[in-house]
């Protein structure tokens, strides 16, 4: 996107994704804390599910909902409301307004440029956590992670991918949308991999850190088990079965898992189940019985005991407090 001041985008906590700032400056504000982070050319941001935020040219600028501007079910096209937000008019030939408006432009512009106003150019991507690999990677991500790509040698191979995205959007050859989708996904994974290499070349002193979680997601032994636990938290996983899926012995698997993530496999699984339960209690109206089944507990009392041990609150109390805050 090319963005001309004044502009603002509000992103809900139901998505995961990233920004890569190619030009200009902007400010990112976390919805939960109000903490602000200035961003400039060369900086990247990773945001995990549950980390709602605003992205604006200035903190006082009006914000429009990300889901109103873009059709999240399709190719990221602007909706009709999005066209109105951007000041774009449909072609008048009966086509979908968003489709015809985008087809006329190399990149979407959220507001009409004003003389002398600086522009911000960024590549962005939002992802479903059900997408293979993405759920595993984003499960260990802190709510918002910002870092500088230009000062890190490991990020230099991103340039060719970024340029390919820009070239495809500018040329608009047949099939360009599918190509851009795949290129942006590659950029996302390249950012993650480069960050792991740069910040985690040596194992961190803190095995629970962000880079440790990313390394685990890329580890040949640990990643298959993580993927299974993240995709199917309701299944009664055992260390024996997880080791079998990872193609190693039980003892080797347990030891390697502990070395990479700093905790045994079943402790990690319990913590992950509690995180999923917290999200369901906060963001849905599902009953405690159904939530307990979704995270692998046949007994509501067993689930409640585990949940209270890890969070300090009973499920009903957690829901009441967090939904009121939300």
pLDDT-derived band of residue 196, with 50, 70 and 90 as boundaries? low
Domain 219-326: state its class: mainly alpha
What's residue 195's pLDDT?
64
The residue ranges of every structural domain in the chain are 2-199, 219-326
Computed over every residue of the chain, the mean pLDDT equals 75
pTM of the model: 0.57
Cα(63)–Cα(73) distance, integer angstroms: 21
pLDDT for 78-100, tens place per residue? 555 554 544 443 333 334 433 43
| 154 Cβ contact partners less than 8 Å away, ≥ 6 residues apart | 194, 195, 197, 198
Residue 307 has pLDDT above 90, yes or no: yes
pLDDT number for residue 39:
92
In sequence order, what E strands does the chain have?
2-4, 8-11, 16-23, 25-30, 36-40, 43-47, 53-56, 64-65, 119-127, 144-148
Give the per-residue pLDDT at 133: 53
CA distance linking residue 312 with residue 222, whole number of Å: 29
Q: What is the pLDDT of residue 206?
A: 46
For residue 93, give Cα distances in angstroms to 83, 97, 146, 230.
16, 9, 43, 46
**CATH 1.20.1250, domain 2-199, yes or no:** no
How high is the pLDDT of residue 180? 86
């Amino acid at each position: 996107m090319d963005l001309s001041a004044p502009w603002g985008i509000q992103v809900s906590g139901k998505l995961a994704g990233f920004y890569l700032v190619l030009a200009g400056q902007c400010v990112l504000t976390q919805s939960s804390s109000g903490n602000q982070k200035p961003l400039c050319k060369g900086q990247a941001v990773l945001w995990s599910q549950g980390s709602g935020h605003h992205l604006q040219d200035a903190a006082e600028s009006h914000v429009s909902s990300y889901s109103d501007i873009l059709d999240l079910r399709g190719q990221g096209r602007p909706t009709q409301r999005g066209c109105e937000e951007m000041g774009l008019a449909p072609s008048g030939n009966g086509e979908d307004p968003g489709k015809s408006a985008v087809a006329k432009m190399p990149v979407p512009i959220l507001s009409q440029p004003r003389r002398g106003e600086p522009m911000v150019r960024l590549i962005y991507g939002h992802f479903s956590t059900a997408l293979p690999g993405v759920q595993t990677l984003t499960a260990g991500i802190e709510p918002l992670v910002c870092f500088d790509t230009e000062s890190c040698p490991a990020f230099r191979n991103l340039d060719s991918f970024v340029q390919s995205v820009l070239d495809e959007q500018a040329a608009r050859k047949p099939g360009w949308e599918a190509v851009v989708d795949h290129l942006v996904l590659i950029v996302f994974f390249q950012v993650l991999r480069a960050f792991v290499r740069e910040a985690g070349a040596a194992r961190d002193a803190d095995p629970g850190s962000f880079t440790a979680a990313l390394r685990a997601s890329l580890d040949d032994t640990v990643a298959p088990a993580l993927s299974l636990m993240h995709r199917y938290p309701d299944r009664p996983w055992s260390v024996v079965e997880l080791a079998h899926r990872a193609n190693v012995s039980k003892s080797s698997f347990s030891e390697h898992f502990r070395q990479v993530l700093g905790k045994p496999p079943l402790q990690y699984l319990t913590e992950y189940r509690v995180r999923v339960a917290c999200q369901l209690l906060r963001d849905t109206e599902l009953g405690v019985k159904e939530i307990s089944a979704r995270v692998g507990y046949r007994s509501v009392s067993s689930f409640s005991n585990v949940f209270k041990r890890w969070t300090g609150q009973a499920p009903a109390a957690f829901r009441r407090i967090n939904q009121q805050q939300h």
